[in-house]
Structure 1
Amino acid sequence: MPLARRSLMDITAEPFGWRRVHSDTDKVDALLTEQTETAYREAAGHTALATAKNTDVLAVQPGVVDARGRVLADVLYLEGLLAGVRNKGLAPELIKRLEDTVDHGHELTVLLADTIRTTAAAHADGR
């Protein structure tokens, strides 16, 4: 959420790992919409910047390595959430959704690792 739209309570609580929860699906939908809009707004210049910076295959590698690291850290965090949800016997649908998310996240880290390897292999082949 943009800093201007975050409450003082949210800003103060964040360093402690506290987050606001929403029990109303309309509020959840609004939060997800705002999150998506913010991400797309911040990503608007990525294509032009990437086109200018990525002049060869190795130039792509650091960004993909960074992205894989963030994805892996988030997947492991979600895996911990899943373990807690299972241990507490929470809603089976929540467990299923988290399992699917964690599985997909691990698959994404494998694809990103393959992409990183491809940058090195393509460089070695002179492409």
Structure 2
Amino acid sequence: MSLARRSLMEAAAARFGWRRAYGTTTQVDALLTEQTETAYTAAADHAATAKNDDVLAVQPGVLDARGRILADVLYLEGVLTGARTRGLPSAVIERLEDVVDHGHELTMLLADAVRATATAHASSGH
């Protein structure tokens, strides 16, 4: 099935709150590879690097990324809570804990980057 068709089907399913689960690591690896390729293609298609011509031009994109990541991390905290409550295998819980911890660290680093843009702008005399 093509990526476009699968994406459309998954978007429609997500609208109804359905999610597809993959039962083998081969299926998971194929999906992860597709996600990676799609993300790199999208990154190559946008002109983010051309827009970053001054310190404040960086700020909105970093803020947007932080907001999306924070929302995802909070969702994953709920997934982790559910996994703990339902007694899922410790290896799954440990990986989810790692992801949530790393996600919170990433949001803090992004917040620091946003603050740095404001500090740099203020110190440049603007």
Q: TM-score, normalised by structure 2?
A: 0.90
Q: Offset of 1:6 from its aligned partner?
A: 1.2
Aligned-residue offset at 1:71: 0.4
User: What are the superposed Cα offsets for residues 5-51 of structure 1, whole Å, 9 maximum, x if unpaired?
Assistant: 317643431102211111111111111111111111111134xx223
Could you tell me which amino acid in structure 1 is paired with residue 113 of structure 2? T
Q: Does 1:40 align with 2:34?
A: no
Q: Which residue of 2 is the match for residue 116 of structure 1?
A: 114
Corresponding position of 1:60: 58
For residue 90 of structure 2, what is the aligned residue in structure 1? Answer: 92
Q: Please, which runs of 5 or more residues in structure 2 have no aligned partner?
A: none
Q: Secondary structure at the match of 1:19?
A: coil
Secondary structure, counterpart of 1:114 in structure 2: helix
Match of 1:28 in 2: 28
1:53 and 1:8 mapped to 2: Cα distance?
31
String of CA shifts for 1:36-77, please: whole Å, max 9, x gaps. Answer: 11111111134xx22321221011100000000000000000
CA-based RMSD of the aligned residues comes to 1.8
User: Alpha-carbon deviation of 1:80?
Assistant: 0.4
Deviations 1:80-117 (A, max 9, x none): 00000000011100000000000000000000000000
| Code of the aligned partner of 1:19 | R
Query: d(CA) in 2 for partners of 1:8 and 1:68?
Result: 26
Letter of the structure 2 residue corresponding to residue 52 of structure 1: A
- Please give the alpha-carbon distance, in whole angstroms, between the structure 1 residues aligned to 2:36 and 2:49: 23
Aligned residue for 1:6, secondary structure, equals helix
1:73 aligns with 2:86: no
Amino acid at match of 2:28: V
Which letter does structure 2 place at the counterpart of 1:29?
D
Give ranges in structure 1 of 5+ residues lacking alignment.
none
